[in-house]
């Protein structure tokens, strides 16, 4: 399995390109690769190539892409996960895992019960890049700047909009299985609350804005775990697993 490197500005076949300082250091110091070695490079937007290392000088590495690689297909439905910020490094875990699963974007949310107000969007983007490199995905999901739940309700225009709620929210709440009978959307948004869950007012506001409340079985899962489970089930329903 060839080592993969993220090069966001790939020029194309047979056009040498310099790796970033971080990627160059990983190639030379960690992997101990050098001139003549073959690696894979991808731009995070779906393009990937086999490339040969053609120059190593101090902290600079230049590679030459010479053959296009057919990447793993992206999911049919472009899914945005709108996840409330979580305590500690749990949000890093969410970014890592949903990147591997194949989501198109992650929208960090500030909700009524969100206890975390600080964020590091650049770190999350680095986590997404590292996860894409590891799982051999050629697309890096868009990691957006945090915004309020109210703003999401006002601005999100996905064809299918879902909000994951607690099982005890009521008998009128559907389940993920109910989505099997709905037409396949081109894009969808899945909103997931914080550790303390949604308030009744937030669920009512989301429903009024067109979000469909659904549950994930009869158990209450941790916020950082339920997102992976829910996205996996959605992809199975949509034919992506």
Are 36 and 122 in the same domain?
Answer: no
Are 111 and 44 in the same domain?
Answer: no
User: In this predicted structure, what is the pLDDT of residue 225?
Assistant: 85
Asked if the model's pLDDT at residue 22 lies above 60, the reply is yes
Asked if the model's pLDDT at residue 170 lies above 60, the reply is no
Q: Calculate mean pLDDT across residues 132-152.
A: 95
Q: What is the CA radius of gyration of the chain?
A: 20
Percent of the chain at pLDDT exceeding 70: 96
Question: pLDDT per residue over 63-72, tens digit each?
Answer: 999 999 998 8
**134-144 burial by CB neighbour count: b if 16+ within 10 A, else e?**
eebbbbbbebe
Are 98 and 171 in the same domain?
Answer: yes
Pairwise CA distance, residues 155 & 237, whole Å = 26
Question: pLDDT per residue over 198-214, tens digit each?
Answer: 999 999 999 999 999 98
Are 118 and 231 in the same domain?
Answer: yes
Tell me what the pLDDT averaged over the chain comes to: 91
Q: Calculate mean pLDDT across residues 142-156.
A: 96
Q: Are 84 and 192 in contact (CB under 8 A)?
A: yes
Number of domains into which the chain is organized = 2
- Residue 94: which domain range? 78-237
Q: Calculate mean pLDDT across residues 97-113.
A: 96
Q: Which of 68, 93, 117 is the last residue of a domain?
A: 68
pLDDT band at residue 169, thresholds of 50, 70 and 90?
low
Beta bridge partners of 189: 80, 161
User: In this predicted structure, what is the pLDDT of residue 178?
Assistant: 79
Are 61 and 90 in the same domain?
Answer: no
pLDDT band at residue 172, thresholds of 50, 70 and 90?
low
Pairwise CA distance, residues 104 & 199, whole Å = 27
| Residue that the structure tokens 């600079």 belong to | 60
Q: Which of 68, 93, 114 is the last residue of a domain?
A: 68
pLDDT band at residue 117, thresholds of 50, 70 and 90?
low
User: In this predicted structure, what is the pLDDT of residue 124?
Assistant: 95
Cβ neighbours, 10 Å, residue 210: 12
User: Residue 57 is part of a domain; what is its CATH number?
Assistant: 2.40.240.20
How would you classify the pairing of strands 48-57 and 38-42? antiparallel
User: In this predicted structure, what is the pLDDT of residue 171?
Assistant: 58
């Amino acid at each position: 399995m060839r080592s993969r490197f993220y090069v966001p500005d790939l020029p194309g076949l047979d056009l040498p390109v310099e790796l970033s300082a971080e990627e160059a250091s990983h190639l030379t110091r960690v992997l101990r690769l050098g001139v003549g070695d073959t690696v894979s490079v991808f731009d995070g937007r779906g393009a990937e190539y086999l490339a040969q290392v053609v120059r190593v000088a101090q902290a600079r590495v230049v590679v030459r892409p010479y053959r296009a690689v057919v990447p793993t297909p992206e999911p049919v439905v472009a899914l945005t996960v709108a996840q409330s910020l979580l305590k500690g490094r749990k949000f890093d875990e969410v970014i890592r895992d949903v990147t591997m699963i194949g989501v198109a974007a992650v929208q960090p949310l500030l909700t009524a019960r969100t206890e975390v107000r600080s964020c590091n969007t650049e770190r999350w983007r680095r986590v997404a890049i590292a996860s894409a490199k590891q799982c051999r995905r050629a697309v890096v999901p868009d990691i957006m700047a945090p915004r309020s739940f109210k703003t999401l309700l006002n601005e999100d225009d996905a064809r299918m909009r879902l909000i994951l709620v607690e099982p005890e929210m009521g008998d009128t709440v559907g389940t993920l299985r109910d989505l099997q009978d709905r037409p396949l959307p081109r894009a969808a948004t899945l909103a997931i609350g914080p550790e303390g869950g949604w308030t009744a007012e937030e669920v009512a506001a989301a429903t009024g804005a067109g979000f469909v409340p659904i549950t994930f079985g009869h158990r209450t899962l941790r916020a950082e775990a339920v997102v992976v489970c829910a996205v996996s089930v959605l992809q199975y329903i949509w034919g992506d697993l």
